Amino acid sequence: REAEGCDCLQGFQITHSLGGGTGAGMGTLLISKIREEFPDRMMATFSVVPSPKVSDTVVEPYNATLSVHQLVENSDETFCIDNEALYDICMRTLKLSNPSYGDLNYLVSAVMSGVTTCLRFPGQLNSDLRKLAVNMVPFPRLHFFMVGFAPLTSRGAHSFRAVSVPELTQQMFDPKN
């Protein structure tokens, strides 16, 4: 119903996890139903990918494996967020000994905000979902991206400091980020 009220619907952005039954099964079913209803609109997903080190159920690899096929077929852009990397960033970089879901969600929201900045602010490049996909996707089925983000700050950090260009560059290409 919300889509019917839009003047110029570009597409959809879905956030879900590939490890759980709801995010993997119901999430990809929702994506396929939206694709059926709006075949000409863009579909971007932010998908949290499970990891054996931080897994809480044994069926996470199966859920992820079965849902990836739906993402290949029905998504135009899939931004993969590694669950293990989220925990590693919280513990190693942000020095949080026991990260909460709020801390993890803060990192995911920062990445989502960074990826979609070009959609919210005026500019020449990647000004809508379709242009973003045209510039980033080399072949239609190769639309899975691993995200990196810098500078990393914790959720409660209120102090600001200037980050130098070499430091920012080092953080961007650090495999731990």
pTM recorded for the entire structure: 0.86
CATH number at residue 169: 3.40.50.1440
> How confident is the model at residue 119, as a pLDDT?
85
- What is the span of the domain harbouring residue 31? 3-173
| 28-57 average pLDDT score | 91
- The better pLDDT of the pair 2, 64 is held by 64
Contact 122, 62 (CB under 8 A): no
| 151-177 average pLDDT score | 78
**How many structural domains does the chain have?**
1
Q: Following DSSP, what letter does each residue of 61-104 receive, concatenated?
A: HHHHHHHHHHHHHH-SEEEEEEHHHHHHIIIIIS--SS--HHHH
| 36-51 average pLDDT score | 93
